[in-house]
Amino acid sequence: MRKSYMLTALLLSLSLISTGCLAFGIDEETTTPTEAQLSRCRAEMYLNPSMKITPIGYKLEGSGIDDAIWFKFWTDVSGVQEIFDVKVVDTSKFKTGFTFSHEMKEIKWWDVENKELLGGQVELPNVRFMNVGIEKIVKVMWSI
């Protein structure tokens, strides 16, 4: 009986692998994101589409079960509510003193260690969330 379960699990695993169901994405990091990478950030992070962005860094971890993106950029908008689509992102809950729990020290341009920022964690549609920290420069960590 036990061998039957093990054989079934093995066959299911092989089936998933051979059909591509366990084919994960790629990991990538750059300080000069492409237009496609910027478009994904704008869409996933509900950024204001008319806002001018000067990217500083982009990192995608797409090789796991869930994707995660770290995106750091500069913008000249004057208010936090102008950065995001406020119909989705409630910036009124942002607080001074927010810190990122995952500092990602291996990403040199991310540099959030020991920084208290204006921001917070935001729940997004489709069981997604993002952490936002602002200190003249906007830092967003998004994940599924």
In a domain, 63, yes or no: yes
CA distance 79 to 2: 61
In a domain, 51, yes or no: yes
pLDDT digits (tens, 9 = 90+) for 34-57: 999 999 999 999 999 999 999 999
In a domain, 31, yes or no: yes
In a domain, 68, yes or no: yes
In a domain, 10, yes or no: no
For the chain, the average pLDDT equals 84
**Residue 20 token pair:** 């591509």
Buried b (16+ CB within 10 A) or exposed e, 50-64: eeebebbbbbbbeee
pLDDT at 28 over 90: yes
In a domain, 48, yes or no: yes
pLDDT at 12 over 50: no
> Of all residues in the chain, what percent carry a pLDDT higher than 70?
83
CA distance 144 to 128: 4
Are the CB atoms for 30 and 37 separated by under 8 Å?
yes
Domain that holds residue 129: 24-143
In a domain, 123, yes or no: yes
pLDDT value of residue 141: 85
In a domain, 118, yes or no: yes
Number of folded domains that form the chain: 1
pLDDT at 7 over 70: no
